[in-house]
Structure 1
Amino acid sequence: MLKEFRDFIARGNVMDMAVGIIMGAAFTAIVTSLVDDLVNPLIGLFTGGVDFSSHMIRVGEGEHAASFMYGNFINAVIKFVIVAWVVFLLVKGVNRIKDAAMPQEEPKVEGEPAPSSEALLAEIRDILKDRPQA
């Protein structure tokens, strides 16, 4: 079982996935900064200084009151859309490169179907039978 686990971990796909997760974590910090430091101030500029992160609805009173921080949810949705857009662009670019690198298959001609193996063998037999013996 240990050998199977070692073989699984040593596969290229697992290593690629690990690198992707690490890069994703680093990318999350960049997107958070982008949303908090650039996007939100721009949205605030157009909405009269609105800062989503401070928006909430308080339910109850006193120290046991609950706060629904819907502004943080809006920020999370903005971050998700940005990350999803970047991942879409990356996948689209990789697919374009892969398609350019892979040779195109010749399209099959519509018409008569390919002969079966038996038909081809029968044809070869008939050709050999008609040939003069040496």
Structure 2
Amino acid sequence: MIKGFKEFILRGNVIDLAVAVVIGAAFTAVVNSIVSSIITPFIELFWKPDAEGKIGFTVEGMWGPVTFPISDLINAIIGFLAVAVVVYFVFVFPMNKLKARAAAKAGLTEADEEPKLPTEQELLVQIRDLLGSQSTTPRG
């Protein structure tokens, strides 16, 4: 039971996922602060915010002007990309290098890890050839 749990925990994708969730949650406050204090003011240099401080465009609607605030979208995209870059370069990239180094020490290559399976077309050709050879041999 403990051995199975250990194998589950030490699987690469489980560790990657756990690290991404923890670091993403912890890093979100830092990224939001950077975006709101540096990126948003920089964008406001070129695009005037409305009365609520939102950057977007206004369209005249049936009941008055409607503003599409794209500043929240821009902030979310920049925040996501920042977290993704940090998680990849700090955790995923080094983990992949470590796995490759361990596989090289063990003498394994990528070809050794996954055997090449025949394609569907190759399997169909083999089936056809087998059926053809069975029909030409005399029975009995």
TM-score by length of structure 2 reads 0.48
Of Structure 1 and Structure 2, which has the larger fraction of its residues in strand? Answer: 2
Which protein is bigger by CA-based radius of gyration?
A: 1
Greater RCO structure (CA 8 Å; 6+ sep) = 2
